[in-house]
Amino acid sequence: MNSFIKFADTLSSSMGKAFSWCIVILMGGTCYEVVMAYVFNAPTLWNFDFSLQMYGAIFMMAGAYTLATEAHVRGDVIYRLFPTKVQGWIDLVLYFVFFFPGVIALGFYGYEYAAKAWMIKETSWNSPAQIQIYMAKSLIPLAGTLLTIQGVSEVFRSIICIRTGHWPERQAGAEETEKILMRKSKENEKIDVI
């Protein structure tokens, strides 16, 4: 189980970091559009669709990374008060009841949706540029597949937690400033006690 968890975390982190570069591309496209529109008075027809596709790629492909790094918004007001093994059971049940039906449907029906888009070489209907969007729709089943793999990893984490009473360590990702400050505060408290 630990080797699969490591594989899934590495895959999710790699894909998330790779697609994070879409933000740079998105920023470049936006800067280009601003210069073209306001400096040269020649706005583009394609940039709106381009920006939409880049944002969609970031959003879809960041899901597994966000799950792997525990960065999803979570209302854990009561959950965090439970013993660790109870948390493991809650997560295990909820993954099967809510998570897997949704992400498996995303992968399965997303594949059909993307396949139809590829067959007709679908273009955007809401823009005069008629930009091709069938390639971007391929990200839908890919996101479903990555989320399913990461979900299996999270189930394995829950099982390990139920057995041992401790959550397995996660790979370090982008960490919130609040978490960094809390960790440093706890480290300083330990030093003061010694």
Q: Sorting pLDDT into bands at 50, 70 and 90, what band is 72?
A: confident
Query: What stretch of H or E contains 155?
Result: helix 139-164
Q: How many structural domains is the chain composed of?
A: 1
Q: Sorting pLDDT into bands at 50, 70 and 90, what band is 125?
A: confident
Quick one: average pLDDT of 167-194? Answer: 75
pLDDT beyond 70 at 175: no
Rounded distance, CA 186 to CA 163, Å? 27
Contact status, residue 97 vs residue 55, Cβ threshold 8 Å: no
Rounded distance, CA 151 to CA 2, Å? 14
The pLDDT value recorded for residue 193 is: 65
pLDDT beyond 70 at 166: yes
Q: Sorting pLDDT into bands at 50, 70 and 90, what band is 176?
A: low
pLDDT beyond 90 at 32: yes
pLDDT beyond 70 at 100: yes
Read out DSSP for 75-112? --TTGGGS-HHHHHHHHHHHIIIIIHHHHHHHHHHHHH
Identify the weakest region by mean pLDDT among 31-45, 65-79, 172-186.
172-186
Percent of the chain with pLDDT over 70: 95
What's the whole-number average pLDDT of the chain? 89
Domain extent, residue 83, equals 2-193
The candidate with the shortest Cα–Cα distance to 105, out of 155, 135, 57, 141, is: 141
Quick one: average pLDDT of 172-181? Answer: 68
Q: What is the pTM of this model?
A: 0.82
